Structure 1
Amino acid sequence: MREIKLLLVEDDEDDYIITRDLLDDIFSRRYRLDWASDLETARKQLSANQHDVCLMDYALGPEDGVSLLKEATALGFSSPIIMLTGQDDERLDEEALSAGAVDYLVKSNLTQSRLARAIRYAIARREMEVERVERLRAQAENRSKSEFLAHLSHELRTPLTSILGYTDLLLKQKTRNDNDDHLQIIKRNGQHLLSLLNDVLDLSKIEAGKFELENKAVNFPEFLSDVYHLILVRAEDKNIRLLVEADQALPKFIEADPTRLRQILLNLLGNAIKFTDSGSVTLQVSWDFAEGIAEGSDSSEQEKEPDIANTEAAGHSDAKAAEIVFAIKDTGIGIEEDEIPKLFKPFSQTKNVESRSENGTGLGLAISQRLAQRLGGGVEVSSVSGEGSCFTVTIKAGIEESVEQQLLNIELIEANRPRLNAQQINARILIADDLPDLRQLLGHLIENTGAQVIFAINGQDAINQVRQAQQLKSPFDLILMDVQMPVMGGLEATQILRKEGFTGPILALTAATMRGERERCLAAGYSDHLSKPVDESQLMERILLHLGQIKIAQKEVTPNHILLVEDDHDTRVITAMLIESLGLEVSQAATGAEAIASFNHSIPDMVLMDLNLPDCAGLELAAQLRSLAKGTSCILVALSGQELSKEEQDVSPFDHHLLKPVNLDVIKQVIA
């Protein structure tokens, strides 16, 4: 136990001696007691603010202790103060506590146990308060950091969109000229700058606990083919053979986060190519079903995150856990054994790297290790200096036991892959962005597909364009809307358009990449989310996808009256607006009691219900509503912030389960 520092403000020496003796018995002299017998000394001690607790007498000569108690904070004293008095008076007790004392002790009733309890309680309370303040300060700092990173991301990604986009346009010109080599240099360096930005943001998000995974069904052979072709050019530039091998048939589909897995593999393959001057780089893939998964480890003693891996990388509830292993082998310069521990530390590079001109931030391997851990595995490395290295990535994925399997053949996959027709978009598309360069770039890309493009310079202009188009019986089929614009931003404009009845797809364009940005866009009424710089192939794929969904909006809607049960006001309002934009009647309830009252008044055709309500459990409320709706065709739909297992869905009283946030397309599919 550390030494406790106490300050006693007491003008009576006998009371000082009595208090000191009690403290000796309590703390066995493991404390330091400073005695202030007058107001001047007391003020100096309080100003020093060096004590854990102050015991202050109520009567201090011509003044009372309450006056000094009120003055203590102004003097800089931040520790708890316990008031001591010679009389038991409820009024004095209340006055002392109101002035800031944490306790009030009567000297005539003062015992060893009571004094000990009061001091220990005061210290514990103080420590809890200090911890709370530190936690709030840390949270505020994290918020500030997140806001700064979001702003930084936006400010850097926006010009990069123009740089990379216009470079691609110039390179696509049929007439080759002497500037093509210069344009390739601009493109390579722009892409390198973007990768560095992504590395810094990713590491910051991981360390701040704001990193999110998005598991989905992935065509595994096509995914490997994509990785191969993305990195092939770099290997060919160095005249290095790039191979992708699998000694066994691979599952056609896996459940994983393809973006993060691709990031890991491209990073490690890129490193292997960078530090290999001759020979080959090989990606070997193997897999097997497994009851558990060995966490990735390496000599760098990285922290493991098994709890996160189990919850975030488990895959689809119907899929069985499987272990997938990627071994990246090269014939490069290798790594000295004593340098291996540095590999996975941020901003740290080995001597072999430092001696070369192809330097980076030293973040790539650190991020890859952390990403692999979040995907349920890790990264290990073995190397012989001068002979080459092998980085082994292990992840956990969901794979159906009955999934189709096939031998990996990269050439056959590419030959059979369907190609998008560049002239197949027949639609009216509105592009809303305040930056002329980006408007022109996106317009050029989309007009090349045969689509008709109209522009808006901000959210208000977009609303005006949509209204005018509807009046002219020539509505837009799709809108690309930037999120951050002057006059009116995309979020507000989208909410207004949905409220006014626009049911077509609205795709968000945003340079913000922090956690929750996609959910914020979807909650505002956007149909989808695209990050800047916009990848042309991804842009066209999303446009075609959402244009294909227009027919869903034209289906005859079955329910006419929907009851929306949601305790979060903002979520309830925007969801109601989305439903109303489809021409449906919406009743709203913020609690289970309100839902039952609304149900008793009029049984709706459908109930959209949050599972977490302030006054009752969603499942219990659903059972009640199911009973009240007996004999009707009322449909119950659950809205949940986390995905329910198949077993939970099977036993619940709901007809459908939707994962928040829901957007207009999801709602249309449920009610259609």
Structure 2
Amino acid sequence: MTDVIRVLLIEDDEDDYFLTADYLSQCQEPRFDITWVTNSAEAVAAFRCKLFDICLLDYILGAENAIDVLNIIKSKGISIPVVILTGQSDAKVDEMVMRAGAADYLTKSEIETPRFMRTMRYAMVRREIENERIERHKVEQQNKAKDKFLAHLGHELRTPLTSILGYTELLLDDAGNERMQQELSIIHTNGKHLLSLLNDLLDMSRIMANKLELSPKDINLSGFMTDVHSLMNLAAKDKGLRLSINCQSPLPESIKADPTRLRQVLINLISNAVKFTDSGNIEVSLEVFTSHNSGEERLRFSVKDSGIGMPPDKLDDIFHPFEQIEDVMRANHGGAGLGLAICRELVHKMGGDISVESNFGKGSVFSFYINPGDISEQPRDELNLAAPSSRTPGAMNLHVSGRVLIVDDLRELRRLTGHMVSQCHAQVAYAENGVKALEAVLMAEQEGKPFHLVLMDIHMPVMNGIDSLKAMRKHNCKTAVVAITAASRKGLKQSLMDEGFDDILGKPIEKNALMQILDKYLIRTPDPALADVSLPDGANASPDTSISHNDNASNKTENTQPEESPGSDTKRVLVIEDDHDAADLMQLLISHQGHQVAIANTGEQAISHVDQEEYDFILLDLTLPDYHGFELADALQKHINDTTTIVVVSGREPDASDLTLHNISHSLLKPVSKDDLSTLLA
């Protein structure tokens, strides 16, 4: 309670006022500041002029009584604990005033007794508790409003980003724009950077609202780290840096963690190391150690760079949201100051902690550990990553013709491998798991356009590479299948060959080794032009069929033609989007893949479309002028058959429960890329 309690005494008897005021003035702690009024009108006037902590109200005030005054106080929106004072005790009066909203009820004879002071204290405590409850409610409402605003902001920003990135990709793929490649690449790079900042902002919002959930899975550690190395090695090489990954102790073959969020933390730390290092090395190290507190094993990651470093007095601030070091900002390295704060929260959710050691001008070491699950029974081995090729992409002039299917659950690695294969002028198609690979291979054979080579990752969700190969062989598929694996245990190559693989490639994929595989299983051509015309139209396939200019400049002409999945019929697609630019872009991206597209800008137009024609896919924006997206989905399902797939396209992640409730199995997050649509429509 406050040191001085401000009391409003509503009493029409002067003697009773002096009696009450005299008793309260004798109290040493707490002290009371009394304002005296005689009726409800004076009380309301006093409330307008001054804030009070408690009100003492006489039950009989001439023509008024306490219940009348309580009602007037409540009608004015005044919230204050009111203690009723009366000349004599009456159970009925007691019940009436308590029902009317009084905090307590006392007889005037009790004013000089301990019960009076206890009543005052209890009323004040209840007031403080109620104030805290009200404040908590206000904060909750503010947080809900903030979450709603950020979700709306995310949607509003993703919609124009869809147009910026999508049209830039189309321009990059057009051979006629070669003279503007640098400018277009700058637009595309900065658009992706803006999307990254938006994702950081929304991630931080979910973290602060305690709505970010992890999805732990079994992770093959060697394969996982090899993928991280492959993803970040090019960025390091672009700055002339050497990226190495090593272990300080034998590592478990498998751990239990959320691969997406663990990869996010590592890539963020390595990206920062690359950003703030102009020369030297970046070293990533792993080790298993035993926690002193729990006695359980933990997995520690460290990222060491030889960059600009940070002053010691700034190290406590960098993990706080929106904090950046001024020297770093002056160096124009950019960023929203959220990356490290997000890393800290993600690491905490994975049962660990993160720290940093740094010397200004000498570099930094970021270390974090996570709970890897029960690894006591896991076999341990040294981390053994293949050395990346030292040859430049143009060092080998291998020209081949043939169709190659690249199978990997990581889109970035699919594209990276596809980039290298496309440089040899082979046709490239993609699949994200073993099931998709099996479907693509069987469809291609049915159409008489079989793949000549499949590059198959071993560890994938849904169906792994070994099971996919066995299924292919059961269907008498004779296509050469090469296993891609990061594992290096003794006898692995022979065991994979025994499973039926034709060859093995290690991760990270060394270009020389890949060239040897391509040369072995595809047809060598002396002239790149011969390779381009040696394949019939429609050879491109499946998810990720298009390679952007940044990935493969030589593929631009190829991508100006419609891209069709092997063996897949032309799909009929209805795009429901009220933003005309976004709708036109979606139509271009889909039609470039050989599909038919119609556009509806409102819910009424959409219903009219489905009444007149059947569609294979309906891409549904959630924000429309005449319908909420989920309401329209319910309405559309009354007009379509079971073969039509409704896909929600939104600027924010829809709740899984809403998708299930409205019988929707697919969703896409804006900005929607060519690769997203290729994967969906394959």
| TM-score, structure 1 as length reference | 0.66
Q: 1:326 to 1:29 in 2, by over 3 A?
A: closer
2:627 aligns with 488
Q: Does 1:409 align with 2:410?
A: no
State the Cα deviation string for residues 438-472 of structure 1 (Å, max 9, x = none): 344444444555555554444454455445445xx
Please state how far the C-alpha of 1:291 moved relative to its aligned partner: 9.9
1:524 aligns with 662
Q: Report percent identity of matched pairs.
A: 38
Q: 1:16 to 1:332 in 2, by over 3 A?
A: same
Q: 1:220 to 1:461 in 2, by over 3 A?
A: farther
2:235 aligns with 234
Q: Does 1:361 align with 2:336?
A: yes
Decide whether the 8 Å contact of 1:293 with 1:376 is kept in 2.
Answer: no
Q: 1:335 aligns with which of 310, 325, 331?
A: 310
Please state how far the C-alpha of 1:502 moved relative to its aligned partner: 3.0
Please state how far the C-alpha of 1:176 moved relative to its aligned partner: 6.2
Q: Which amino acid aligns with 1:488?
A: Y
SS in 2 for 1:164: helix
Q: Which amino acid aligns with 2:568?
A: N
How many residues in Structure 1 have an aligned counterpart in Structure 2?
Answer: 510
Q: 1:8 to 1:487 in 2, by over 3 A?
A: closer
SS in 1 for 2:316: helix
Q: 1:37 to 1:495 in 2, by over 3 A?
A: closer
Q: 1:391 aligns with which of 329, 352, 366?
A: 366
Q: 2:671 aligns with which of 533, 550, 562?
A: 533
Please state how far the C-alpha of 1:96 moved relative to its aligned partner: 3.6
Please state how far the C-alpha of 1:153 moved relative to its aligned partner: 0.7
Q: 1:152 to 1:425 in 2, by over 3 A?
A: farther
* In structure 2, distance between residues paired with 1:220 and 1:534: 31
Please state how far the C-alpha of 1:95 moved relative to its aligned partner: 5.0
Residues 377-526 of structure 1 aligned to structure 2 (within 5 Å):
377-398=352-373, 407-409=383-385, 416-417=455-456, 421=542, 422=545, 423-424=565-566, 426-427=568-569, 428-434=571-577, 435-447=579-591, 449=593, 451=595, 453-469=597-613, 476=616, 478-498=617-637, 502=642, 505-513=645-653, 517-526=655-664
Please state how far the C-alpha of 1:208 moved relative to its aligned partner: 2.8
Q: Which amino acid aligns with 1:512?
A: R
Q: Which amino acid aligns with 2:244?
A: L
Deviates more, 1:146-155 or 1:194-203: 194-203
SS in 2 for 1:123: helix
Decide whether the 8 Å contact of 2:319 with 2:340 is kept in 1.
Answer: yes
Q: Which amino acid aligns with 2:632?
A: A
Q: Which amino acid aligns with 1:162?
A: S
* In structure 2, distance between residues paired with 1:87 and 1:391: 74
Q: Which amino acid aligns with 1:509?
A: V
Q: 1:265 to 1:521 in 2, by over 3 A?
A: same
SS in 2 for 1:397: coil
Q: 1:33 to 1:350 in 2, by over 3 A?
A: closer
Q: Which amino acid aligns with 1:508?
A: V
Q: 1:173 to 1:405 in 2, by over 3 A?
A: farther
1:59 aligns with 60
| TM-score, structure 2 as length reference | 0.65
Decide whether the 8 Å contact of 1:251 with 1:404 is kept in 2.
Answer: yes
* In structure 2, distance between residues paired with 1:429 and 1:398: 46
* In structure 2, distance between residues paired with 1:424 and 1:250: 41
Decide whether the 8 Å contact of 2:8 with 2:37 is kept in 1.
Answer: no
Q: 1:371 aligns with which of 326, 346, 361?
A: 346
Q: Does 1:344 align with 2:319?
A: yes
SS in 1 for 2:119: helix
Please state how far the C-alpha of 1:380 moved relative to its aligned partner: 1.4
Deviates more, 1:106-115 or 1:207-216: 106-115
* In structure 1, distance between residues paired with 2:89 and 2:601: 74
Deviates more, 1:156-165 or 1:324-333: 324-333
Q: Does 1:135 align with 2:136?
A: yes
Q: 1:181 to 1:293 in 2, by over 3 A?
A: farther
* In structure 2, distance between residues paired with 1:256 and 1:527: 25
* In structure 2, distance between residues paired with 1:502 and 1:459: 20
Q: 1:362 to 1:43 in 2, by over 3 A?
A: closer
1:12 aligns with 13
1:567 aligns with none
Q: Which amino acid aligns with 1:372?
A: V
Can you give the 5+ residue segments of structure 2 that lack an aligned partner in the other structure?
390-407, 418-454, 458-483, 485-540, 546-564
Residues 18-33 of structure 1 aligned to structure 2 (within 5 Å):
18-19=19-20, 29-32=29-32
Please state how far the C-alpha of 1:237 moved relative to its aligned partner: 2.6
Decide whether the 8 Å contact of 1:154 with 1:511 is kept in 2.
Answer: yes
SS in 1 for 2:299: strand
* In structure 2, distance between residues paired with 1:51 and 1:220: 64
2:562 aligns with none
Q: 1:285 to 1:522 in 2, by over 3 A?
A: farther
* In structure 1, distance between residues paired with 2:675 and 2:291: 36
**Higher RCO (CA-CA < 8 Å; seq separation 6+):** 2
Decide whether the 8 Å contact of 2:8 with 2:52 is kept in 1.
Answer: yes
Decide whether the 8 Å contact of 1:23 with 1:29 is kept in 2.
Answer: no
Q: 1:35 to 1:445 in 2, by over 3 A?
A: closer
Q: 1:273 to 1:43 in 2, by over 3 A?
A: closer
Q: 1:368 to 1:442 in 2, by over 3 A?
A: same
Q: Which amino acid aligns with 2:663?
A: G
1:626 aligns with none
SS in 2 for 1:83: strand
State the Cα deviation string for residues 462-512 of structure 1 (Å, max 9, x = none): 455445445xxxx62x44332223333431233334566636543322111
Q: 1:220 to 1:510 in 2, by over 3 A?
A: farther
Please state how far the C-alpha of 1:130 moved relative to its aligned partner: 1.5
* In structure 1, distance between residues paired with 2:82 and 2:21: 17
RMSD: 3.7
SS in 2 for 1:426: coil
SS in 1 for 2:179: coil
* In structure 1, distance between residues paired with 2:37 and 2:123: 22
* In structure 1, distance between residues paired with 2:681 and 2:611: 22
Deviates more, 1:256-265 or 1:85-94: 85-94
Can you give the 5+ residue segments of structure 1 that lack an aligned partner in the other structure?
295-320, 545-672
2:34 aligns with 34
1:632 aligns with none
